Structures are given as C-alpha cells and as structure tokens.
Amino acid sequence: MPNEPVRAVIFDLDGTLIDSEPNQYLADRQVLAKYGIAFSEQDKRRYIGGSNLEQMVDLARRHGLPVGPETLVTEKIACYLEIAERSTRVYPNMKRFLDLLVAHRVPVAVASGSPLEVIHRLLPAVGLAPYFELVVSADEVGRGKPAPDVFLEAARRLGVPPRACVVAEDSCPGVEAAHSASMRCIAVPYLTEKPLPEAFGLADLLFPEGMDTFNPEAAWAWVQARLEPGPSFTGEKMPDNLNDAQYRYQ
C-alpha cells in the first residue's frame, strides 16, 4: 500500500532536536561512579538510542550492583536534569527545519524514549516548548523503540494516519521504530562511523554524515513535495526531483 500524503512530522528529542548525549554520558558516569564502575564514552555508545531503563537493567546485571535498575534510573534522571537544564543546546539546523514546518502550518510532535518529566523540563529550558503542544514519552506506551508504540501513539493523538507521518530520527532503534509504524523517516545519524548500520537503509531520506551536514532546506523541500494538498499548508510548491525510495543527501 503506498504512503499517503504527509500530514505531520514527529521528532525524536535526544540526538535529533537537542545535543543531549554528552550530558547523558556525564550523568551516567557520575551515578555509576558511586557504585565503583568506571564508565567510558565507548561504554556509552552501546546504549545510544535505547531507554534509561534498558541501559540500567543491563549494567546492574553485568556488574552485580546492589541496587535495582529502577533506583539507578531515578538517580540518573535527577543528575541528568541538574546538568541538562543549564547546558543543553538545540541543533541549529534541526531548529531551522522545525521553523520551516511550523511556518507552513505542518503539525509537529515530539515522541521520545526519555521520561515525560525530562521532556517537559527540557523543552522549556531550550526554548522549544512553544513549538510542541503534543509530546509523547515511551513511558506512556507498552514498549520503547525499536517497537513502534511511541510513534503510533503520537499519530493517534495527532489524529493522523501513521502512513501520513514523517519521523525525524538519529538512531537505529528510532529508524526501525518508524519503519515498523509504516511512517516515512528522515535519518540524521548521531554516530556516523562507516559503514553505517544496516538499519539506516530503512530511512527514506538519509543524511549519512550526520548533523554537521544536515540541510534543513533540503529536508523541507523533501517534505513539501509530499504534503497533502490543501489550505492548511501554505507557501509555494518546490519542484519535486526526489523519489520516495531512499535518498542519500550528500
């Protein structure tokens, strides 16, 4: 069944809208140091794109920690928010893409693996709260990414069929979740070592060199060429020379 015209764009938060991974790593390192674990940046890489709970379940098991993963998550979130509320930056090119969507009245939402408390505190801290009336956390659904639940819930609340949604993502689990939800996906990998994981081949629009080369005007032109015609979307139609098959932007 072909995809429907685009009616909404759903954004991942961490690594897509905001550069959160350095602060996530600092919080992990501080919390785990209390339990005698030296946690390196290389160690952190294996958990990028997953949930805090999945990470702490694995670490508690591997290191035989005396506290449960839920306690570790609570400690990590408190530490992370203390750091992140004062030092998180928005990716300027992704902000430009968001501005283009909002200027043309394309509905947008956030669907994130982060806890709802974190999302609701960070969006105002970085100045993005006015853009998003709709926010969905993986805590509110049955399964986190790579399951499609959080994206499907966002589409449900938007009142838009999943096939009419585009997801903006930075991680393999996020791209897989978008694909499982039957949504188009714009992928901007956070980790860009070559070869990229095969999961990025599921994306419809791929910027393989990551955020440093993400082009918001190109992403907007790609979305605009697929919009549902109608009065809700304003602005002059750009020429469409991009196919719905995966397009790698160089």
* More confident site: 184 or 24: 184
**What whole-number distance in Å separates Cα of residue 221 and Cα of residue 203?**
16
pLDDT band at residue 15 under the 50/70/90 scheme: very high
> Which amino acid type is present at position 75?
E
Question: Which residue's structure tokens are 């919009």?
Answer: 227
Q: How many angstroms separate the most distant Cα atoms in the chain?
A: 60
Model confidence at 230, pLDDT cuts 50, 70, 90, reads low
Contacts of 25 (CB under 8 A, 6+ apart): 39, 41, 44
Q: Which of 43-52, 67-76, 222-231, 239-248 has the lowest mean pLDDT?
A: 239-248
| Burial class (CB within 10 angstroms; exposed 0-12, middle 13-18, buried 19+) of 183 | buried
User: Where along the chain do the CATH 3.40.50.1000 domains lie?
Assistant: 8-19+88-248
127's CB contacts (< 8 A; 6+ apart) are 90
127-130 contacts: CB < 8 A, separation 24 or more? 127/90, 128/17, 128/18, 128/90, 128/95, 128/98
What would the pLDDT profile of 104-114 be if each residue is shown by its tens digit? 999 999 999 99
Instruction: Please state the φ and ψ torsions of residue 42, each to the nearest 5 degrees.
Output: -65, -40
The CATH code that applies to domain 21-87 is 1.10.150
Domain with CATH 1.10.150 in the chain: 21-87
What fold characterizes domain 8-19+88-248? Rossmann fold (3.40.50)
Residues paired with residue 168 on neighbouring β-strands, in sequence order: 11, 186
